[in-house]
Amino acid sequence: MALVSTPATLERAVPVMDNAEVLRIRNDFPVLNQLVNGQPLVYLDSGATSQNPVSVIEAEQEFYEQRNAAVHRGAHHLAVEATEVFEDARQTIADFIGAEYEETIWTSNATEGLNLLSYALSNAGLWAAQGRGDQRLGELALGPGDEIVVTEMEHHANLIPWQELAFRTGATLRYIPIADDGNLRMDQAGGIVGPRTKVLAFTHASNVLGIINPVKELAALGHTAGALVVLDACQSAPHLPLNVKELDVDFAVFSGHKMLAPTGIGVLYGRQELLDILPPFLTGGSMITTVTLERAEYLPAPQRFEAGTQRISQAVALAAAANYLTETGLDRIHAWEAELGQRMVAGLESIPGIRVLGPAAGKERIGLAAFDVDGVHAHDVGQFLDSRGIAVRVGHHCAQPLHRRLGLTATTRASAYLYNTTDDVDRFLEAVAGVRAYFRA
């Protein structure tokens, strides 16, 4: 088997994935083996929600068949076993992202993780004003004169929570703009992130543009300013090796349903010294040490942010998904998806009347491509492709400000994963080539 040493981020040559291997991988995904509108399904919507391999489905089923019980609350056999597999799953995910066990918080999804963080920072100001909690809380509190910085390409989940935090605290929300090619204006970033910046939040990889942002450079910029650095890793954790310590971010979030796991499970990573002093977001059982009728004292992380009955089976399944990706090799997956992404972009650029967002063919991107078809609405494009058994995403992809910046209201997005072949991409391109003629655009 041939070896590959690109992209440049790979530290060693690794065996290249090819169509033959991908076809074997597809056998692990039952949902892909079906006809849609009389055509074999081509699933190109993994950027929204990925499919589940049998090992992940079985991991969740096995939990319910053999170990279903509340965790951390019982001394009987099932409760002990449930707690063990639940916490083993946490360690698996911590290892998956290069974090510590105590730094890995279960959430329902990345959106909840970002809201948890924004509300914890709100509460930091309230606690500091009342002299409650750690003395360092005052350094995390936001108020008038402070600034939160995001980017113009953010998903709504990494924009609206910060808008609301600014509203609650009187802080100002600013953003790093993009250039016409979609890349961040890093030449302007240094004038935007400065002494007033308390939070710098940005996506690792854009769910619309396919761009991989310079995380280390942005993190260094934020830390030089004394800001907390928050990474949206939803489009990176499932697709490329991720080490939060090497990236030097303070917090990161991602969702299980985008990385082969069920819905209803996500992860918030945070540096332990920060998590242990931040006030909790949700309160109730399982996250306390002592409760009186007047007040409560809270456990350190991770339990500090996990009130109530947890997403136990989903966490177990997420760990199975992480193991599946690790065994396949995230560096290999990234290289294969990059090849598919280049094939998509090059093919789309060759079709008259198609505008592709983000980097042109030949430039680095993840395995997705959002595009506009001249004279045809994105929803019509999506229905046309669906009639040919091809599943894609249409709309603004929860990135209205980005679309507005690019002069669009909606686009069609195709996003590949480890179970897609070059034939999938070619079928997609052949169908797109017929869209404008079909609608007489």
pLDDT in tens, 248-299: 999 999 999 999 999 999 999 999 999 999 999 999 999 999 999 999 999 9
- Considering only residues 72 and 226, tell me which one the structure prediction assigns the higher pLDDT: 226
Asked if 190 and 313 sit in the same domain, the reply is yes
Residue 66's pLDDT is what? 96
**pLDDT above 50 for 173:** yes
Which of 15-19, 207-211, 232-236, 405-409 is the least confident region? 15-19
398 is catalytic: yes
Residue 105, phi then psi, degrees to nearest 5: -105, 130
**pLDDT above 90 for 1:** no
Q: Domain limits at 251? A: 67-326
Distance, in Å, from the CA atom of 360 to the CA atom of 350, rounded to the nearest integer, reads 11
* Mean pLDDT over the full length of the chain: 95
Predicted confidence band of residue 34 (pLDDT cuts 50, 70, 90): very high
User: What's the structural domain count of the chain?
Assistant: 2
Asked if 40 and 77 sit in the same domain, the reply is no
Asked if 211 and 352 sit in the same domain, the reply is no
Residue 364's pLDDT is what? 95
Asked if 123 and 158 sit in the same domain, the reply is yes
* 216-233 confidence digits (pLDDT tens): 999 999 999 999 999 999
Asked if 338 and 248 sit in the same domain, the reply is no
Asked if 317 and 337 sit in the same domain, the reply is no
Residue 74's pLDDT is what? 77
* 377-428 confidence digits (pLDDT tens): 999 999 999 999 999 999 999 999 999 999 999 999 999 999 999 999 999 9
Mean pLDDT value of segment 151-180: 98
Decide if 61 is inside a domain: no
Decide if 57 is inside a domain: no
Asked if 390 and 430 sit in the same domain, the reply is yes
Decide if 428 is inside a domain: yes
Decide if 199 is inside a domain: yes
Residue 3's pLDDT is what? 36
Asked if 277 and 154 sit in the same domain, the reply is yes
Query: What's the CATH code of the domain at 12?
Result: 3.90.1150.10
Asked if 81 and 214 sit in the same domain, the reply is yes
Mean pLDDT value of segment 51-56: 98
Mean pLDDT value of segment 95-106: 98
Residue 14's pLDDT is what? 61
Which residue among 309, 326, 343 closes a domain?
A: 326
Asked if 110 and 210 sit in the same domain, the reply is yes
Decide if 62 is inside a domain: no
Which residue among 326, 344, 372 closes a domain?
A: 326
Spell 185-206 as b/e; 16+ CB within 10 A means b: eeeebeebbeebbbbbbbbbbb
Which residue among 303, 326, 349 closes a domain?
A: 326
Asked if 235 and 271 sit in the same domain, the reply is yes
Query: What's the CATH code of the domain at 275?
Result: 3.40.640.10
Quote the pTM value: 0.95
Catalytic site residue from 14, 391, 398, 408: 398
